[in-house]
Structure 1
Amino acid sequence: MSAMASSTAPGASAVYGVSAGVPVVEAGGVPGAGRVLPTRTELAAVLPWPGLRRGSTVAVHGSVSLLFALLAEATANGSWAAVVGLSGISLVAAAEAGVELARLAVVPRPGGDPAGVVAALLDGVDLVAVGGTRNIADSDARRLSARARNRGSVLLPFGPWAGAEVQLRCADASWRGLGQGHGYLRERAVTVHAGGRGAASRPRSCRLLLPARDGAVGVPAGEPAEIARPRLRSVVGC
């Protein structure tokens, strides 16, 4: 987005749960005006682009830490983000993950029309994360993805989403830090699986620390950035 506007975007005060004092500016300005919003380099192994492509829909399953990691670099570089329908998120954890809270709007309870709230935010915010996805009809989900494409925003559903271009799932989680019955849980290693359609049709997997010891994203020491998949061989006669 461009530098922070001195007033809210038209209609922003009408969005249920968003304070009229929250500044919302038009997407497409600078910084972040390019077609790709920056992400942490550790996420390169699971994204089909060198960042988050404007207009894309990237569904995140099972890890709020991964969602924060996707928001962190863009907000640190001047983009604005909104989180809708995730009432239990920790802003402390978001800040530790690198999210710039001064550029984050939170709508924990979007009321009876969550799709309408998301649509309004897509008109003026670079990245919009959406919880409670099961409460949004598939037809509305597709319309919101189309709106994101039209507005050049990035839509980040936290859960199932009809028509998402990229699906990110976390599995095989293990916490680290405890010794022989003592110590603290300091970091969590997970396998992130990525798939989807178009540029994301090639499945990808990698091991990440979500969160790492500093609360952000990291790569486990001694492990490859991307998990190699066995190559398929054609078998004659089958």
Structure 2
Amino acid sequence: MSSSRSIAALDPARSVLEQLRERVAAMEHKTAGEPVPTLPGLADVVPMRAGSTYAVDSASLALALAAGASRSGEWVGFAGCADFGAEAAAELGIELSRTVLVPDPGEHWLEVTAALVDVLRVVVLRPPASVSERTAGLLDSRLRTRSAVLVVHGDWPRAEARLTLEDSAWSGPVAGAGALVERRARVVVRRGARPPVRADLTWPGVHRVEPRAEQGVREIRRRVDGRAG
């Protein structure tokens, strides 16, 4: 990995500055408030909008919110995410060749994040400390200007939505050795004073679990088991 700790493979035949300027120009032509691609399992739960900030309580949710934009061809970045899992990111569909990683921006995290927001569509940030209203306001203004999205792993003042995981469980082989196959978790989305929205999702892939379909399977199993007895 390069000294800038970037996973992204820029075109070596062209000036890095020129390529970044092109991305800045592209971001300036996008409109704040326009939809940002989201994974199908999350589209109904948290439709993301350019110029907004979303707070999450886990790395898996942060990756999931960045994956939709990456799949659609956008550039994404991660700042302060020292435990960034490249394998988990790729499994969700994040294109590593269009991903920029700054695992430890240190005391300059605000300037680094602002620079990433200037050139990337979605930026995931894990702040090193609590964030004040004033600091958050500076980045919020930058997001609206560049029509980017900020996903914060942690607390953030005035976030558009806050996502948390609950009832998380892994499934795998019933007996013996083997790898974990699927993770199921309930995602809770809170937006201001509105009632929270809950959805059951599965990893990898982040697919929606339809409660009615799952209930139907249980009903069929009960009937079959009853006849077998």
Tell me whether the two structures share a fold, i.e. TM-score over 0.5: yes
Q: Which has the larger radius of gyration?
A: 2
Q: Which residue of 1 aligns with 2:198?
A: 205
**Which aligned pairs between 1:48-197 and structure 2 lie closer than 5 A?**
49=47, 52-62=48-58, 64-197=59-192
Q: Which residue of 2 aligns with 1:46?
A: 45
Which shows bigger deviation, 70-79 or 102-111? 70-79
SS at match of 1:25: helix
Once the two structures are superposed, residues 94-125 of structure 1 have per-residue CA deviations (whole angstroms, 9 ceiling, x without a partner) of 11111011111000011221011111111111
Alpha-carbon separation, structure 2, partners of 1:84 and 1:218 = 26
Alpha-carbon distance change, 112 to 194 in structure 1, aligned in 2, over 3 angstroms = same
What number of residue pairs does the alignment pair up? 201
Alpha-carbon separation, structure 1, partners of 2:208 and 2:147 = 30
**Would you say 1:217 and 2:206 are equivalent positions?**
yes
Amino acid of the structure 1 residue aligned with 2:90: A
The structure richer in helix per residue is 2
Once the two structures are superposed, residues 58-94 of structure 1 have per-residue CA deviations (whole angstroms, 9 ceiling, x without a partner) of 11112x2222121112112121111000011111111
Alpha-carbon separation, structure 2, partners of 1:57 and 1:189 = 25
Alpha-carbon distance change, 158 to 9 in structure 1, aligned in 2, over 3 angstroms = farther
Instruction: Tell me by how many angstroms 1:29 deviates.
Output: 6.9
Alpha-carbon separation, structure 1, partners of 2:187 and 2:101 = 26
Contact kept? 2:20, 2:119, Cα under 8 Å: no
Alpha-carbon separation, structure 2, partners of 1:193 and 1:162 = 18
Alpha-carbon separation, structure 2, partners of 1:33 and 1:165 = 13
SS at match of 2:136: helix
Alpha-carbon separation, structure 1, partners of 2:133 and 2:39 = 30
Contact kept? 1:129, 1:156, Cα under 8 Å: yes
Contact kept? 1:61, 1:168, Cα under 8 Å: yes
**Identity, % of aligned positions:** 33
Alpha-carbon separation, structure 1, partners of 2:133 and 2:32 = 30
Instruction: Tell me by how many angstroms 1:203 deviates.
Output: 1.8
Once the two structures are superposed, residues 180-218 of structure 1 have per-residue CA deviations (whole angstroms, 9 ceiling, x without a partner) of 3443211111000001238xx342100001x23xxx212
Gapped regions of structure 2 (runs ≥ 5): 1-9, 214-229
Contact kept? 1:127, 1:153, Cα under 8 Å: yes
Alpha-carbon separation, structure 1, partners of 2:173 and 2:21 = 43
TM-score, normalisation: structure 2: 0.77
Gapped regions of structure 1 (runs ≥ 5): 11-20, 226-238
